[in-house]
Structure 1
Amino acid sequence: MDEKKSPRKTSRGRRKIAVATDDAPEQGYLDGQMLVAMPVMEDERFARSVIYICAHSAEGAMGIIVNRPAGSIDFPQLLVQLEIIDRADQIRLPEYAESMRVLKGGPVETGRGFVLHSSDFSIQNATLPIDDGICLTATLDILKAIAEGHGPKHAILALGYAGWAPGQLEHEIQDNGWLHCAADPDLIFGGDVEDKYQRALDKIGIDLAMLSNDAGHA
């Protein structure tokens, strides 16, 4: 994975989400699709990962891992750390904000936050529409909106992202590193994070046991 590739920048002057932690797709590209790691994936950072592709072009690709929890970090604590709310206000958060998952989005820029969310919420010059009602926003304004109860209906916060240099993702797919399938809101926003890998394989129609066996005899 190329860790130099950067996603499209938000407008100048907007404060990006940063924390302290240990337009329509062109034909032939995978914007708005899900990548599913093959069982033989050797890179431990991406083993059994499910990635939503936010941008893919001749310039490279950028995506968010949607099935890897960010350890003990929880959303209310993050809001306090970012000084969006006071510690005492954690008990006043909307229910969906209290339960919002924080994920490890990938190995690039792990100190930045990226919110994948439904298209019922948008910030001018900061929100990137992707596909099928899914958007990406990477400024603190969306976290403030969620904390105040008027953010998007569905959202996940990812720390970091996965990035590929020009042609790199295509090469990895040709080398059988990844499968891909259409995205759906449940695979992106569903709460059963640990089951997303199996459900993504089911969506493709792949039996993991048979796939592992075939890969071992290739």
Structure 2
Amino acid sequence: MEPTRKRVRKSPAKTSVMDAAGSYLDGQLLVAMPVMDDERFARSVIYVCAHSSEGAMGIIVNRRAGSIDFPELLAQLDIIDDADNIKLPESAESMKVLKGGPVETGRGFVLHSSDFFIDDATLPIDDGICLTATVDILRAIANGGGPKHAILALGYAGWAPGQLEDEIQGNGWLHCPADDELIFGSDIDEKYMRALQKIGVAPGTLSAEAGHA
């Protein structure tokens, strides 16, 4: 995560990149089909941060990053001293660290509510959700001044131009509108089933036929 000294302010309105046909999926969730044979994405729920003719990028929101916890990560980044862990606000103590995807796994991405914004560093996405990848947001969270809702993801999922569309047509993904509970909820292990329920399907009813929400 690269440091920045830009000032913090409220998020402006986002200009959507969705085309007239509504084919772009930024701000929505991708839900892996049960037949997904790529272990990196099996049973994954991905929040799409960007999608255009140039490709797509998203954050897996239902896969834990091993045993890493947020206070430990803050100490490793020298944002806090080890002895300061007990002084962290509750929101920082309980913040989830997730495995965001197989690309740039050594880099952190914070998906968060739009009540926190850093000029030239925060990407507004949709429905009050933003993405920031700078150390300043971690410092703000550690000091109790960060966004109301946030998750930290290590790495991200990326697709080349046309690749995501091909995977959807090839029965790799379903998609549906996002909601705060599926993005930020603490029940990480239940998100996949809840996402399928949101779409209105049960895993046993899905076959090799492609489908969309």
Deviation, 1:25, is 2.7
Paired residues, number: 197
Residue 135 of structure 2 aligns with which residue? 140
Q: Per the alignment, in what secondary structure is the counterpart of residue 122 of structure 1?
A: coil
Residue 26 of structure 1 aligns with which residue? 18
Distance 2:137 2:90 in 1: 16
Q: Per the alignment, in what secondary structure is the counterpart of residue 143 of structure 1?
A: helix
Unaligned runs of 5+ in 2: 6-14
What value does the CA root-mean-square deviation take over the aligned residues? 1.5
Deviation, 1:14, is 2.9
Query: Superposition pairs for residues 102-117 of structure 1, below 5 Å?
Result: 102-117=97-112
Which residue, out of 149, 161, 165, partners 1:154?
A: 149
Distance 1:13 1:162 in 2: 22
Whether 1:100 aligns to 2:95 is yes
Query: Superposition pairs for residues 32-181 of structure 1, below 5 Å?
Result: 32-181=27-176
User: Percent same amino acid among aligned pairs?
Assistant: 76
Q: Give the conservation status (yes or no) of the 8 Å contact 2:3–2:135.
A: no
Could you give the per-residue CA deviations for residues 35-74 of structure 1, whole angstroms, max 9, x where no partner exists?
Answer: 0000010100000000000000000000000000001000
Distance 1:111 1:30 in 2: 26
Distance 2:3 2:177 in 1: 35
Q: Give the conservation status (yes or no) of the 8 Å contact 2:3–2:134.
A: no
Q: Per the alignment, in what secondary structure is the counterpart of residue 103 of structure 1?
A: strand
Residue 215 of structure 1 aligns with which residue? 208
The residue type paired with residue 210 of structure 1 is: T
The residue type paired with residue 24 of structure 1 is: S
Deviation, 1:164, is 0.1
Distance 1:179 1:13 in 2: 36
TM-score of the aligned structures, taking structure 2 as reference length: 0.90
Could you give the per-residue CA deviations for residues 158-195 of structure 1, whole angstroms, max 9, x where no partner exists?
Answer: 00000000000000000010000000010000000000
Q: Per the alignment, in what secondary structure is the counterpart of residue 208 of structure 2?
A: helix
Moved over 4 A (4+): none
Unaligned runs of 5+ in 1: 1-9, 16-22
Distance 2:68 2:77 in 1: 13
Q: Per the alignment, in what secondary structure is the counterpart of residue 70 of structure 1?
A: coil
Q: Give the conservation status (yes or no) of the 8 Å contact 2:3–2:136.
A: no
Residue 14 of structure 1 aligns with which residue? 4
Distance 1:197 1:70 in 2: 16
Q: Give the conservation status (yes or no) of the 8 Å contact 2:171–2:208.
A: no
Could you give the per-residue CA deviations for residues 112-158 of structure 1, whole angstroms, max 9, x where no partner exists?
Answer: 00000000000111000000000000000000000000100000000
Distance 1:63 1:203 in 2: 19
